């Protein structure tokens, strides 16, 4: 993994990923890259939480379909920790549109559509902090490394 400060980020395995049985494949790819799970849960996202999560997209043509999809079934929420976790996770997930996502990325290899594109990944450290707070209480986030220890 590239050098950088240790960060936390949010990944949601969306309902299409859960339905297709790809949670293990997705988690495995993230872990093999050195990202550590510091919290995980399966839940069904209520419309109100989905609207807060995707507030920056409100008013855009794709917003209703986005809300409908993310609330259509269970998701797996992951809090990940690692060096440059936000950027590394975005690289692993690939472009939002799976038709142009690079081979070797989660979306490039596995996603079938633009809205049902398997995963959500925070796009910045600020977004990650805001999004993590929507899904996890502070006491649910368990640091992987101890103070003074080498991270990996």
Nearest to 18 by CA among 100, 78, 108: 78
Whether residue 13 contacts residue 78, with contact meaning beta carbons closer than 8 Å, is answered with yes
Of the candidates 53, 57, 69, 120, the residue annotated as catalytic is: 120
pLDDT of residue 16: 98
Looking at the DSSP bridge assignments, the partners of residue 77 are: 12, 41
The domain ranges of the chain are 6-136
**pLDDT band with cut points at 50, 70 and 90 for residue 152:** low
pLDDT of residue 2: 41
Model confidence pLDDT, tens digit, residues 98-131: 999 999 999 999 999 998 999 999 999 999 999 9
Residue 59 has pLDDT above 50, yes or no: yes
Q: What is the mean pLDDT of residues 47-74?
A: 96
Model confidence pLDDT, tens digit, residues 78-98: 999 999 999 999 999 999 999
Share of the chain above pLDDT 90, in %: 90
Q: What is the mean pLDDT of residues 47-67?
A: 96
CATH fold for the domain made of 6-136: Alpha-Beta Plaits (3.30.70)
Catalytic residue flag (residue 120): yes
Q: Is 51 exposed, middle or buried (0-12, 13-18, 19+ CB in 10 A)?
A: middle
């Amino acid at each position: 993994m590239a050098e950088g400060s240790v960060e936390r980020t949010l990944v949601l395995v969306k309902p299409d990923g859960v339905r297709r049985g790809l949670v293990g494949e997705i988690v495995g790819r993230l872990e093999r890259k050195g990202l550590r799970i510091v919290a995980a849960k399966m839940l069904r996202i209520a419309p109100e939480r989905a609207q807060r999560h995707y507030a920056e997209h409100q008013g855009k043509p794709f917003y209703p379909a986005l809300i409908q999809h993310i609330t259509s079934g269970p998701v797996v929420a992951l809090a990940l920790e690692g060096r440059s976790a936000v950027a590394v996770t975005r690289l692993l997930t690939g472009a939002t549109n799976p038709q142009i996502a690079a081979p070797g990325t989660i979306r490039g290899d596995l996603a079938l559509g633009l809205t049902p594109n398997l995963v959500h990944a925070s796009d910045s450290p600020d977004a990650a902090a805001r999004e993590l707070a929507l899904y996890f209480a502070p006491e649910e986030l368990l640091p992987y490394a101890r103070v003074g220890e080498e991270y990996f």
